[in-house]
């Protein structure tokens, strides 16, 4: 099994992608709603990733 | 109105949903494929399997049920349940001898979370398969 060596950012983006796909598929009732919800959750993950990242950076001093 | 709601919430016969849920546990997305939701089944299969494989390639640790103080029990037993919810992915990796100890480092830590989350996402897929099989959802 090859070893994967990702940065925090890459791992978090990958996590967001897979989770958003599953949440989009299982949550809504039409394909259009699923696509929108998947994109929305992915965007939320990315915003949270950058937001919390900056918060930690600024809080660290 | 209340009667209609009560009728909707009655449990459907086990034979109508158990095969889809069981297959959904064993093979991520399998429940949807059995119910002829091919596109969604494949998306779930690819996402959950990819997440699990990424977890393995990051050398994430598998949880073992442990007792002790409340937090230890919750984390290890909960993590173990999350791991086994990946179905055949978990069974095959354990059968092939995958046994990485819990190591320090952000990649291993992410790997452990990927392995557990793959199982938890599969639980969501199983619930969705149940709702489709029970006729509560298209």
Q: Which residue is listed with tokens 């190591």?
A: B103
Task: Give me the pLDDT at residue B116, please.
Answer: 96
- ipTM of this predicted complex? 0.90
Instruction: Compute mean pLDDT per 10 residues along chain B, 138 residues long, and list them.
Output: 60 88 96 94 96 94 89 92 95 91 87 96 96 88
Task: Give me the pLDDT at residue A55, please.
Answer: 94
Nearest CA to B23 out of B126, B93, B102, B114 is that of B126
Task: Give me the pLDDT at residue B8, please.
Answer: 59
B19/B130 Cα distance (integer angstroms): 9
DSSP B97: T
Check A11 against B107: CB less than 8 A apart: yes
A2-60, pLDDT tens digit by residue?
A: 888 899 999 999 999 999 999 999 998 899 999 999 999 999 999 999 999 999 999 98
A14/B107 Cα distance (integer angstroms): 12
Size of interface A-B (CB pairs under 8 A): 65
Q: Name the residue facing A1 among B46, B57, B114 (closest C-beta).
A: B57
Task: Give me the pLDDT at residue B6, please.
Answer: 54
Q: Name the residue facing B43 among A2, A11, A25 (closest C-beta).
A: A25
Task: Give me the pLDDT at residue A5, please.
Answer: 87
Domain ranges of chain B: 15-133
Q: Give contacts of A4 with chain B, Cβ < 8 Å.
A: 54, 57-58, 107, 111
Which of A24, A25, A37, A42 is the best residue to mutate to test the B interface, defined by the most B CB atoms within 10 Å of its own CB?
A25
Task: Give me the pLDDT at residue A47, please.
Answer: 97
B64 to chain A nearest CA, in Å?
22
Residue A61: partners with Cβ closer than 8 Å, 6 or more residues away: none
Q: What is the pTM of this model?
A: 0.90
Q: Give contacts of B44 with chain A, Cβ < 8 Å.
A: 22, 25-26
Phi (first) and psi of residue B131, to 5 degrees:
-65, -35
Task: Give me the pLDDT at residue A25, please.
Answer: 94
């Amino acid at each position: 099994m090859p070893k994967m060596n990702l940065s925090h950012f890459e791992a978090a983006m990958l996590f967001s992608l897979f989770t958003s796909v599953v949440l989009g598929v299982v949550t809504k009732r039409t394909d259009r709603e699923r696509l929108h919800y998947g994109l929305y959750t992915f965007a939320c993950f990315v915003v949270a990733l950058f937001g919390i990242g900056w918060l930690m950076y600024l809080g660290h001093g | 109105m209340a009667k209609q709601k009560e009728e909707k919430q009655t449990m459907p016969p086990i034979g109508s949903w158990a095969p889809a849920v069981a297959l959904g546990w064993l093979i991520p997305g399998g429940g949807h494929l059995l119910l002829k939701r091919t596109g969604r089944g494949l998306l779930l299969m690819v996402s959950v399997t990819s997440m699990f494989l990424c977890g393995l390639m990051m050398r994430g640790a598998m949880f073992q049920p442990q007792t002790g103080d409340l937090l230890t029990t919750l984390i290890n037993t909960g993590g173990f349940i999350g791991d086994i919810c990946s179905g055949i992915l978990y069974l095959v990796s354990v059968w092939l001898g995958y046994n990485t100890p819990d190591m320090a480092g952000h990649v291993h830590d992410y790997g452990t979370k990927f392995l557990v989350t793959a199982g938890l996402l599969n639980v969501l897929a199983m619930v969705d398969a149940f709702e489709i099989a029970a006729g509560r959802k298209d």
